[in-house]
A and B are shown apart, each in its own frame.
Chain A
Amino acid sequence: MNKEVLSLVLSRLLIALITLVIVSFAVFTATSLLPGDTASILLGQAATPEAVAGLRKAMHLDDPAFLRFIYWMGGLLSGDLGTSYANNMPVADLISGRFANSMKLAGITALFAVPIALTLGITAAMVRGSLYDRAVTVFTIGVISVPEFMIATLAVMFFAVYLQWLPAISFTNEVHTITDIVRVYAMPVITLTFGVSAQMIRMTRAAVVETLNTPYAEMALLKGASRSRIVLKHALPNALGPIVNAIALSLSYLLGGVIIVETIFNYPGIAKLMVDAVATRDLPLIQSCAMIFCVGYLILITTADIIAILANPRLR
């Protein structure tokens, strides 16, 4: 790796770090602005003004915002996510199982969506204008336009209610064998793959088509290289940057944006955990979830950028 590449990568990492600090501040400010008071929500109908005041004091809710931010950041940096307001359990315990579930769902979806998207996107670009290309385009536009809840509901109606092949909801606790995994994950993964890969297919196709129009691709063609060689050897390395970015953007959605899928299949992931936390004004939990989403997003985007830098033939 040469110096130029190294400095580019390092500066990219630095930007990610600065972004993280800004984001943490934004998360803290935004959650502090939520209407409603945790103390009175926790106490419910039995709340007397004295009880609320006492609880507020015990929870440090009366401290100035700046001090609370310092406490919070200190805790985060030392790996302490705090204690949930709603049930006094450590936030880390509450999150860990749900986070693992979300990662499993995201991982399995990526396992299917990425290869499918790349294959369809690249092959469509290779035979641009053909019937196959048009079929792929129409299909992807169709899928993008149908909202996720619709796909999920239709899948449930068909596979669970009418055919009774698959369960209507995902019981993650019942996973013991390969068959269980298929039964539990099939429908959420199908739903997510539809939404996520449609985006990736379109962006991959566009990136490859663009590089195929460049002079060096034309040159390769004139030299008599085969179609697959042009695409794989000449076009793809140059299109890798945008493709990896497209993948990263699509996958980042799997971290926090799957709330509809989690709701419909009752899948205990982290997105639903955060929605719960907002409803109970459980600030430590909301903040931790928000930070996890931000960190995940930053990791994906930064990785994509670094891969793009490394893959750029001009910098090699």
Chain B
Amino acid sequence: MTDLRTTNWTRADDAVVECAIRRGATRRELLQMLLAGGVAMSAGGVIVGRATKAIAATPVTGGHLKAAGFTSSTADTLDPAKASNSTDYSRCSAVYSRLSNLDRSGAVEMELAESIESTDGKVWTVKLRKGVTFHDGKQLTSADVIYSLKRHLDPNVGSKVNAIAKQMTGFKALDDLTLEITLADANADLPTILALQHFMIVAEGTADFSKGNGTGPFVLENFEPGVRSLMRRNDHYWKSKGPFVDSFEFFAISDDSSRVNALLSGDIHVAAAINPRSERLVEGRPGFVLSKSSANSYTNLNMRLDATPGQNSDFVAGMKHLVNREQILRAALRGRGEIGNDQPIFPGNPYRNDDLKSKPYDPEKAKFYFNKAGVLGQSIPVIASEAANSAIDMAMIVQAAGAEIGMKLDVQRVPSDGYWDKYWLKAPIHFGNINYRPTPDILFSLLYASGAPWNESHYKSDKFDKMLIEARGSLDQEKRKAIYNEMQVMIADEAGTIIPAYLTGIDAITDKLKGMETNPLGGMMGYRMAEHVWFES
């Protein structure tokens, strides 16, 4: 480093700059950002140089990577269709590959597919890469891809993405490396959809998934559900670059402080998804760094529009003004996130409507609406649970705000166990927790269309449904963006969901581990860290 030093420049600021670079911010944007923060241009250049250098180092091979996730049980699986949590995703991403993927900015990149193209959005031609082999030596062909995709349609498989896969109605192998996928209705997002973890490719006819026979960067050595999985580098990996580590061991330590202690004592190299209390423990210690992911989940407050009191639109409007988003972000989330504007498209997504402002915290206005709805003085139950991240803290903040204007919110704390079955989508007012999804279409069809399986506030709008289908079929980017923008405004104004903030995930890692980036698909580099990281020699 040169002797050009800046004043009041902290590690946190370093992290902000690095995060921005990882998101794809240009040098010019960064300098503007720094100027806005009061840092002189000359010093700004030094900082940007330092942060980019940290990312652009040459990978070294070797080493045994040990990482700990936060959840694991005997239900752990190697079947990509059934994978359901970060531990499954990490394991499956190491042994299997997918047709396409998302890079750190959320843009589609090709993996097993050389191209995924369509002229009308309805019939898609997928060209596969030549010379890709499975771990058992078998060549990858279009039959494997068709088998892998068709599995999701079979109700007996119990695929987690059955609802999304249903739109793929026809599959045809044109030759060994080319296939055609026909959709029920045009959908321009297919290349992004195929990047979802569940659409990873397995060999044709696979029924026993315990071997983990894929085309991925690692070969499975040992897998004990609920205990650990061990993988070694695939020497015949189809990519010329990576993986860099010799072997990869993954398991979960559910106890947050145990996970952090294991990292601090040098037993593991990555402790995934640590909570804010432990964050401080790691931050002050040399030899460890925090790897922040982009905002990749949110906890929201849902009011059913078909039940009292959500039926009354004035009540819903009142609640939207009663939620103090700044306070929630600061106190409940300890600053780990971004303010939300009541619609599900995550910050950084190219389709996000950034002009849509969040409702300001305005207790007087809330009181006016509650009065109009005639609910002031009544006690209104709000169901909250640990099951949804930070929901209880959020509920308390809203409750306190309500108490100040005479609106009595009765926060009922219920156990996490069984919460998603018994209360979520069912109770008139309750909390939900939604993870990142890469396209507006997936989010809207899953959460806000009239027939959506997870329609948290039971929102119904014919206009919305029509717009959803129109945007899905449109290959014109500008038009799609315009439609999606309007749909976001509709959700923010009409639906009964309040999304106060989008949450950032934080993984703690040893500073000997290099190459860790953020990815919108989730923490630990979208669960694909093992393929990309390396140990400093």
Residues of A bordering B, CB below 8 Å: 35-37, 40-46, 48, 50-51, 54-55, 84, 86-87, 89, 94, 97, 153, 156-157, 160-161, 164, 167-169, 171, 173, 263-266, 268, 272-273, 276-280, 282, 285
Contact = CB atoms under 8 A, between A and B. Distances in A.
A276 B228 contact: no
A268 B421 CA distance: 28
Contact of B418 (A35, A168, A266): A35
Contact of A276 (B226, B255, B264, B417): B226
Contact of B261 (A48, A168, A173, A279): A168
A9 B422 CA distance: 50
A168 B258 contact: yes
A94 B74 contact: yes
A161 B226 contact: no
Contact of A46 (B74, B162, B421): B162
Nearest to A55: B158
B235 interface: no
A41 B255 CA distance: 23
Contacts of B251: 266
A51 B225 contact: no
Main secondary structure of the interface of B (DSSP, over half): loop
Nearest to A266: B253
A103 B160 CA distance: 37
A46 B453 CA distance: 9
B262 A169 contact: yes
A280 B418 contact: no
B42 interface: no
B257 interface: yes
Contact of B226 (A45, A160, A268): A268
B7 interface: no
Interface in B186-227: 224-227
Contacts of B268: 169
Nearest to A156: B261
Contacts of A265: 258
A157 B265 CA distance: 9
Given A45-B160, A51-B155, A87-B74, A156 B265 contact: yes
Given A46-B163, A51-B158, A263 B74 contact: no
Nearest to A172: B227
A209 B422 CA distance: 56
Contacts of A279: 73, 417
Interface of B: 68, 73-77, 84, 155, 158-163, 224-228, 251, 253-255, 257-258, 261-262, 264-268, 417-418, 421-422, 453-454
A71 B158 CA distance: 26
A268 B454 CA distance: 35
Contacts of B258: 156, 168-169, 263-266
Given A86-B73, A169-B253, A268-B226, A46 B265 contact: no
B155 A167 contact: no
Contact of A157 (B158, B253, B261, B418): B261
Given A35-B422, A263-B258, A167 B73 contact: no
Contact of B421 (A40, A160, A272): A40
Nearest to A276: B73
Contacts of A268: 224, 226-227
Contacts of A167: 262, 265, 267
B267 A37 contact: no
B225 A87 contact: yes
B158 A43 contact: yes
Nearest to A41: B421
Given A266-B253, A285-B74, A160 B418 contact: no
A36 B75 contact: no
B75 A160 contact: no
22 contacts: A35-B422, A36-B422, A45-B163, A46-B159, A50-B155, A86-B74, A94-B225, A153-B257, A153-B261, A156-B258, A156-B261, A160-B267, A161-B265, A168-B258, A168-B265, A168-B267, A169-B253, A266-B68, A266-B253, A266-B258, A268-B224, A280-B74
Contacts of B422: 35-36
Contacts, number: 111
Contacts of B155: 48, 50-51, 54
Given A87-B75, A157-B261, A45 B255 contact: no
Contact of A87 (B76, B159, B163, B265): B76
The 6 closest A-B pairs by CB, nearest first: A160-B265, A86-B75, A46-B162, A276-B73, A168-B265, A168-B262
Contact of A164 (B158, B159, B265, B417): B265
B476 to A, nearest CB: 31
Nearest to A46: B162
A84 B74 contact: yes
Nearest to B252: A266
A171 B163 CA distance: 40
Contacts of B421: 35-37, 40-41
Contacts of A50: 155
A278 B253 CA distance: 18
Contacts of A48: 155
Nearest to A152: B258
A37 B226 CA distance: 21
Nearest to A278: B417
Contacts of A42: 158
A105 to B, nearest CB: 15
Nearest to A160: B265
Given A160-B265, A173-B228, A273 B74 contact: yes
Contacts of B267: 160, 167-169, 171
B99 to A, nearest CB: 21
A282 B76 CA distance: 13
A199 B393 CA distance: 39
Given A35-B418, A167-B265, A280-B75, A44 B254 contact: no
Among A37, A161, A273, the most chain B Cβ lie within 10 Å of the Cβ of A161
A301 B158 CA distance: 45
B255 to A, nearest CB: 5
A19 B264 CA distance: 48
Contacts of B75: 86-87, 276, 280, 282
Contact of B264 (A153, A161, A173): A161
Contacts of B162: 46
A5 B273 CA distance: 61
Among A36, A87, A160, the most chain B Cβ lie within 10 Å of the Cβ of A87
B482 to A, nearest CB: 30
A264 B163 CA distance: 38
Contacts of B418: 35-36
Contacts of A89: 74, 225
A89 B268 CA distance: 29
A200 to B, nearest CB: 27
Among A37, A46, A160, A169, the most chain B Cβ lie within 10 Å of the Cβ of A46
A46 B73 contact: no
Contacts of A169: 253, 258, 262, 267-268
Given A87-B76, A168-B258, A169-B262, A44 B84 contact: yes
Contacts of A285: 74
Nearest to A50: B155
Nearest to B77: A87
Nearest to A265: B258
A165 to B, nearest CB: 9
B112 to A, nearest CB: 24
Nearest to B165: A46
A45 B454 contact: yes
Contacts of B228: 173
Contacts of A280: 73-75
